[in-house]
Amino acid sequence: MAMSPTSASRIVASLLDEELIKEVHLSQGEEVGRKATYFVPNEHAVFSVGVEIDIGIIRVGLMNLVGDLFVDHSFKTETDEIEKVVEFIERTVSNLILEANISSDRVIGVCVGLPGLIDNELGIVELSAQFNWKQVSLQQMIADKLPYNIYIDNELKLKALAEYVSTSLSYENVVMIGFGNGVGSALITNGEIYRGKDNVSGEIGHMTLDPYGVHCTCGNFGCLQTYIAVDFLLDEASRTRPIKNMDELVESYKQGDRLAVNIIEKAATYAAIAINNVVCAYNPDAVFLSGCLIEDYPEIRALVIEKHLNSTSFPEARSFELQVTQLKGNGVVQGAALSVQRKFIKNLYFKDGA
């Protein structure tokens, strides 16, 4: 929407006042007359912290106002007990800020991303199957330990936001699909995370394909994730001989083991179905594939793309770009830190009443 010059001046003055932007004077060669004044973000004005927690691991990062994640660490964790995880978050975030030598009043907030059904408004983990947490007030538990604004959110939604920002915001509707211990998706539309009523949109892993299919952890039968998610693949594979993990299954696949080939082929077929179904629902400009099955196993990634290309898809839905995530392991941390900045900037803007 257009903004009046008065509003614009008022906002610029207030941003200068808070040292969030700085003036730059560019002298343009021999030109005569008044020099133009530009305003650029003051990258050291404020900082946001992104945290990712997952089974056995915690990642933290510090982002400046121009979007650089300039410190970034990951640590193994030994327990998924909620109190211990919260202590670990407290310690790693405090150390991060100490290490970067930043005054704590410059830290605008900390966002923690994790897998599961996360009520981002109430700050509650409704259900995280991975951690086996139910109805945990994670935001409050962290806020009791750390003197910052604390937020929590679903990891895939944050990662999709990071992907959207890192691809130069060039798509209007972007979907990220995660294939891993579960199957999920996240839509960014109009530059914002599409959340739905309870922040549980995109739970495509629980779309029913077959009402008489395999029993899912959610209580339903034949959910999409029963055909693809890691635990279900290992369960199936282990019926004839013990298979410990995906590495072992993929190794057997590479050696042409019939059982492993059948299981991985079937999973890839259903991953291509997941892509089709997401496209039917959201009609996106681009779909980004992510998750350990895609990111850690090039063989599976190639097979999923091949199955997708060979499917006779709904014609109009063809016109989207299929890409593999370009984010490194810190995608969730990036998205978490970005989401804090976006809240901060939105609040500034509204505060000003423009």
Q: What residues line the site for its own copies (CB under 8 A)?
A: 1-2, 4, 6-7, 117, 126-127, 172-173, 185, 189, 194-211, 218-220, 269-270, 273, 276-278, 280-285, 311-317, 319-320, 350, 353-354
Cα separation of 144 and 142, whole Å?
5
For the bound state, the minimum distance from the C-beta of residue 288 to its own copies, rounded and expressed in Å, comes to 15
In sequence order, what E strands does 45-172 have? 47-54, 57-63, 69-76, 107-114, 117-119, 124-128, 133-136, 150-154
- Residue recorded with tokens 């059904």: 117
Using alpha carbons, select from 89, 96, 193 the residue that is nearest to residue 140.
89
- Smallest gap from Cβ 212 to its own copies, in A, equals 10
Token duo for residue 37: 């004044």
Contact of 111 with 340, CB cutoff 8 Å: yes
Whichever of 5 and 33 has its CB closer to its own copies, that residue is: 5
In whole angstroms, how far apart are CA 327 and each of 32, 163, 261, 320, 323? 46, 7, 29, 20, 11
CB-wise, 118 or 340, nearer to its own copies? 118
Q: Of 65 and 200, which CB lies nearer to its own copies in the complex structure?
A: 200
E strand or H helix at 41: strand 37-41
Distance CA 175, CA 285 (A): 8
Q: Which is nearer to its own copies, 194 or 344 (CB)?
A: 194
Name the minimum Å distance from CB 270 to its own copies. Answer: 8
Total Cβ atoms within 10 A of residue 18: 12
Q: Which is nearer to its own copies, 21 or 125 (CB)?
A: 125
Nearer to its own copies, 58 or 273 (CB): 273
Q: Min. distance of Cβ 349 from its own copies in angstroms?
A: 8
> CB 210 → its own copies: shortest distance, Å?
7
Residue 96 CB, shortest distance to its own copies, in Å, is 32
